[in-house]
Chain A
Amino acid sequence: MNFGWQALPLYVVLISVVTAMLIFALGEGRQHVRTTLNLGGAILKLALIMLMLLAIQSGASFEFRMSLLPGLDLVLHADRLTMLFATLSAMLWLITTVYAIGYLEQSPNRARFFGFFSLCVAATMGVASAGNLFTFFIFYELLTLATWPLVVHRGTPEAFAAGRLYLAYTLVGGVLVLIGLIWLHALAGGSDFIVGGSLAPLAAGNENALRTIFVLLMLGFGVKAALLPLHSWLPRAMVAPAPVSALLHAVAVVKAGAFGLVRLVQDVFGFDLAASLGLADVLAWLAAATVIYGSVLALRQSDLKRRLAYSTVSQVSYIALGVATGGMLATVGGLVHLVHQGLTKITLFFCAGNYAEGLGVHSIEELDGLGQRMPVTSVCFTLGAFGMIGIPPLAGFVTKWYLGAGAVAAGAPWIIAVIVASTLLNAAYFLPLVHRLWFRPLPEAMAERALAIRGGRMQALVGPTVVVAAMALLAGLFAGTPGSPLFWVIRMVGGES
């Protein structure tokens, strides 16, 4: 154990935990203190992460290690992949917090909400900085725990039904991971994340065991990543408040699953081993099927948030797809989508939240002509939708570019078909929304309906929306700039594997 500056990843996790605890302790009143805490925690965390980022750029390394059980360590470290995810979540936490303050400050149970919100981020940071599969699992499960109160936050029967489904899936997923982990532990002892995988020496003679382990872990992570047969919780979880949906889809839960898949392929098995066991292909097929299936289902949704949810199902699988395809280009595509999808999807959810809060709009039919009513939100929504489709210069394009090129480079051109089909489907379910926003006449009733939010609250909602939309745009537009997600990912993939 080392509690010095080496343990910075621990402190980054702890900041959110402490914030959560303080918020719980404060109780329902003291709105201002809570807001200050929230923002302070988020900013402090971002600052620490920036510090780490700089330090890592200059070659420093961070690791905190603590023995939980004989032979099993809790390891928090910071490699480039960590920083990618950590930076994303820290930034989006800050923004989402601002948004959530605006979104929820009038509603009940705020302390609970913000407490679990922080806890959720803590778990996400833990997932990001986990240094071995065991630690990863711990935070992965913690994430389940911290998210459930957010999913059921509304307290309605639908919310609880959704919460139940969420739990049923994620807990079973957790169990699968656990079994895989136990097996792996029995087979390999520790399972630290080592770039390029740590299992290669074991491969001979254990092929089938390793295959089974991989499938177990893949399914376990796949639950949160909403891989094909395991995705149904995600759209149902849409009953949660918009910032939660945003967080679920953009940063925390879904990403944790995807991140797990990345770690699994890259750092536990190593792509070469995974590929030689035929596992990468399995994951790729599954991810590809999800990409298509999610899009097809999204087409059929008439509720805005549900459509976005199915879109997430589809989009998140790009990450897995990229990583499973292998090769530098596709890996870059997959990893960078971690960030790009996050930015884009959070934009969309914020917009959906704005529509819901501002005009009580939930279904797609009600979007008609809202471009006139809420122009800024609508522009952001349009940008988000375009980003999802992969229209340049938005971030989504960069992803698809690398994925597509990577697919060819890795000798799996069928993936191009998947990407293109998905792009078309994306367009098919997003463009009608954009069309409605801008080209449909505003119905009388909607024109007369007063905005439910105004003043400071409005700013608190629209401000973050604009910021994330701009980030989604800039991440694509300035993809070539040093410091962009793409730049970071390329350095990571190129420099370390």
Chain B
Amino acid sequence: MSATATIYLLTAAAVFGIGVYGLLQARQILRQLLAINLMGGAIFLLLITLGGGAEGPPDPVPQAMVLTGIVIAVSATAFALALLVKLQDATGSSDLDPPDAE
């Protein structure tokens, strides 16, 4: 395995972990959505790197998967953002677990 691939694989792992941490720890939903998108990016990076992107044109199947994944991610994010607006309208808060809620 090439050094480039190693670098990007470790990057992917790190970003995924950071994303998970961010998703679980963030208070604001917007941050959580950012974290989810980070996680998505990490997975895409992993797919392409493993698909041989470091050496030359990568495996087209993962590329197609990533493209699909990107569109799905933007769809989900867009809907989540709309829901977030609605949530704030309905509850007056953009935080899922307000400190005084439970």
Direct contact of A and B (CB under 8 A): no
* A-binding residues in B (CB < 8 A): none
* B-binding residues in A (CB < 8 A): none
